[in-house]
Amino acid sequence: MLPVVNTDTRYQFIQFDGSILNAQTTQMAKIVHLSVVPHDPVLPGIGRDGRPVGPDARRLLDGIARMREGLAASKPDIIVMAGSDHLCQFFFNNMPPFLVGKAERIAGPPGYEQRDWGLATYDAPIEGRLARYILTQGFEHEVDFAYSDEFVVDHAFSVPLNFMRPQADLPIVPIFLNFLAPPVPPAKRYLKLGGIVRKIIEEWEPDLRVAVICTGHMTNGVGGPYMLRHTQRPESEWDRTVNAAILRNDVADLVAHSSWDEMYAQGNNTPGFLGFIFAYGVASGTPFTWHDYVPSKMQPLMILLEWTEDQLNGGQT
């Protein structure tokens, strides 16, 4: 039997070329790609103006290119992106642990980041229906998201999105996770949140393909006394321990090593690892499809992670 084309306008999505995509309501939305992509604002400028690219940076950029191809191959309709705000706009006067962005567009980074790092901007529409669905269903699942109708994204969003979808042709749903301004919720909450966001997406009626891109840090001390430690010591014992747990898909061990105090002691931005924990919540126990671990004296250690559609859906695609 041929699939029935649903003409209910609630499930019609106007595409960038002006055509109308009729999502079928017989199936729910599906997670087709999950990745953890670095947001180091120095990375996009590597090799600029003909400067030489070191082997570690080459490996990172090649790995990101691989994940970009993986994202394209997953043919997503929408990207949900989870990242942090680097005290760009959210401050201690009003600090959301978890926030859904539901403005008309996602745009950034702010001017000072464009100037300081020569960063390109990213500007794409926000898929407001999914943003609102995640927000309201989050309440049903006992997640008290904050929300915002007017915000800017900093390099935590613009760098991964420019790496992964430079053509900016897909609608985005941004989810802000507080990694930076303590107190932050315990790691187990980021894990649970990732699982709930996945469940909400998979309960959304339009039959659309949703990619989830996350970002975070391994040992990272930007701003503090350990900012240049990687130039002497590219990896810490914590990095090795965490990477071993990633290789074993030992999520309980990842959470056990993700207390604020343990991460912060590695370097003041290391709690950005909570972005990985959120990704593991989305993965809901599924081991990664592809991984790379890149310690370097040239930039802080980074891990790249990708889960494919088939992997995420139990080989059932």
Partner 1 sequence: MSRYAVNKVLWQVARDEALAAEYKDAPEKFLTDRGLTTEEFRQLLERDFAALFAAGAHPFLLFTFRIKISGGWSYPMMVEHVKALADIDPPLDIST
* 144 binds partner 1 per the rule CB under 8 A: no
d(CA 143, CA 146): 9
Name the residue nearer to partner 1 (CB basis): 19 or 115.
Answer: 115
Mark the segment that binds partner 1 (CB under 8 A) among 3-11, 53-61, 85-93, 190-198: 85-93
Q: How far is the CB of 8 from partner 1 (least distance, A)?
A: 45
List the one residue from 224, 247, 250, 317 that touches partner 1 (CB under 8 A).
224
Asked if 117 interacts with partner 1 (CB under 8 A), we say yes
**Which CB, 19 or 93, lies closer to partner 1?**
93
**104/116 with CB nearer partner 1:** 116
- Output the smallest distance, CB 264 to partner 1, in A: 6
Q: Which of 141, 139, 277 is nearest to 216 (CA)?
A: 277
Q: Using the rule CB under 8 A, which residue among 78, 164, 180, 312 binds partner 1?
A: 180
Please give the C-alpha separations between residue 59 and each of 65, 113, 127, 164, in angstroms, as whole numbers: 10, 25, 33, 16
Among 61, 168, 222, 298, binds partner 1 (CB under 8 A): 222
Q: Which of 227, 245, 256, 298 binds partner 1 (CB under 8 A)?
A: 227
Mode of pairing for the β-strands spanning 98-101 and 172-177? antiparallel
Told to check if 181 binds partner 1 by CB under 8 A, we report: yes
Q: Check binding of 228 to partner 1 (CB under 8 A).
A: yes
- Indicate whether 264 belongs to the interface with partner 1 (CB under 8 A): yes
For residue 183, the minimal CB distance to partner 1 (Å) is 5
Whose CA is closest to 126, among 110, 142, 147, 143? Answer: 147
Which residue's CB is nearer to partner 1, number 47 or number 110?
110
Applying CB under 8 A, which residues contact partner 1? 86-88, 91-93, 110, 112, 115-117, 180-183, 221-228, 261, 264-265, 268-269
